Amino acid sequence: MRILVLGAGGIGGYFGGRLAAAGRDVTFLVRPRRAEMLRERGLSISSPLGDVHLAMPSLVTADQLAQPYDLVILSCKAYDLEDAMRSLAPSVGSETAILPLLNGVAHIELLEQQFGASAVLGGTCYISTTAQPDGTIVHMNDMHRLTLGDRTGVTSSRVEAIHRQLSGAGFDAVLSDRIVQNMWDKWVFIASSAGMTCLMRSSIGDYVSAGATSLASQLVDECVSVATAAGHSLDDAEVANVRSFVTKAGSTIKTSMLRDIENGAPIEADQIIGDMVRRAASFSLPTPILSVVQAHLKSYEIGRARRLAA
C-alpha cells in the first residue's frame, strides 16, 4: 500500500516516521524548505517509547506529485486545509482513501466537497508532540493512539486493509465502528481543555489553584450539550474523563493551542471553538463560557494579524 503523509511535523512526522521505520511504503508531502532540511538531517523522533531516525525519508513536493496513492494521511492544521487540499489533489484517485487527523468535524464537509464522501474516512489521534528548531519531533508522553473507521459505521474491507497497514508500526492503531462519535468525543475534550487553558493563559493546575474548577466544569457541560444536541452524546465515563482532566489539581499540562499563543503562532480557534459556538447557536443553546473563550481567541488573532502587518 502506497501511503502519502501530508507534512512531516509533530503529527504527520510522528505517525509517518513510525510507519516508515516499520517498513511501510511511506512518502512525505512537504514544502521545499522542509524537504531540504529532511534531506540534510533525516527525520528524527525522540520518544519515551523508543526513538526513530530515518536517514533518507521518501519525500515529494506538491509540484512533483504525479500519480494517486492508496492512502493519504492528512495531518495539517485546520487553517492550512484549503492549501493542503490543492497541494494533494494530484495524489487522490478514484480508489484513494483519505484519513484526516484534524480536530473537530468541520473539515469533513470540505474534504467531501473536494474529493467525494466515499474517499473520506473518519480519524482522530491522541498524542502530544512538538517540533524542535532542528526538525526533531519530540514525543512528550506515552500516548500515541490513532483511531480510524468508516463514517458509515460499517467496517469495509478497504478500512480493514488500511488498519492492517497501520498496525504493528510502533503506535496504537485502533479500528472503530463508531468513528464519528470518537471524533466528537475528542472535540469536546479539546474544546474544553484548550478553551480553559487559553482563557486562563495557564496550566490546568494553576487555574485550578486559582479557584476556576467550577468554571472549567461549566465549559465541559456546554460542550457536552452541543454534542448531545447534534446527536452524538458522550457516555458518562467519557464526560467524567474530560471533567477530571480539566479540573486536576497540580496538573502542569498546557494545551498545544496555549503553547501556540505563547509563541505568537496561528491557532485553530475557528475549527475548535468557533464551530462549537455556531452549532450551539443553531440549537439555541446558551454557551456563555464558550462565547467568552471565542472572543478571547479572536482578540488574540486580531492582535497577531495587526502585529504581522506592521
Active-site residues, by number, are 186
From residue 144, give the alpha-carbon distance in Å to each of 116, 125, 268: 29, 7, 21
Taking the mean position of all CA atoms in its chain, how far away is CA 274? 16
From residue 67, give the alpha-carbon distance in Å to each of 6, 29, 95, 155, 193: 15, 13, 12, 27, 40
Measured CA angle at 277 (ends 273, 282), to 5 deg: 150
Among 292, 289, 168, residue whose Cα is nearest residue 219: 289
Strand duo 59-60 + 71-74: pairing: unpaired
Among 226, 227, 216, residue whose Cα is nearest residue 194: 216
From residue 71, give the alpha-carbon distance in Å to each of 13, 61, 84, 151: 16, 17, 15, 16
Among 300, 213, 218, residue whose Cα is nearest residue 264: 300
